[in-house]
Amino acid sequence: MARKMKDTDSEEEIREAFKVFDRDNNGFISAAELRHVMTSIGEKLTDEEVDEMIREADQDGDGRIDYNEFVQLMMQK
């Protein structure tokens, strides 16, 4: 039971984190949204670094990160 609750907490945390990145609430994280959040937490990234982060997480190749791709990225950590 404790494991089930922990999984639920983790899922909720991931959902909330996705909402922070998805500033326009369209269900995707764009390079601009990723850059904005990373800058706001003090990470200075070049456009190339942001693009590389998107490419690494973007499984379907559409140039943005959807919720399922975000979950996969977070589960790798």
Q: How far is 34 from 40, CA to CA, in rounded Å?
A: 10
Domain boundaries, the chain: 2-75
pTM: 0.80
For 17-32, the pLDDT digits (tens) are: 999 999 999 999 999 9
Per-residue pLDDT at 1 exceeds 70: no
Among candidate residues 76, 75, 77, 70, the one with its CA nearest the CA of residue 22: 70
Of the listed ranges 27-31, 40-44, 58-62, the least confidently predicted one is 40-44
DSSP secondary structure code for residue 62 in this structure: S
> What pLDDT is stored for residue 77 in this prediction?
61
- Give the architecture (CATH level 2) of 2-75: Orthogonal Bundle (1.10)
**Residue 70 above 70 pLDDT?**
yes
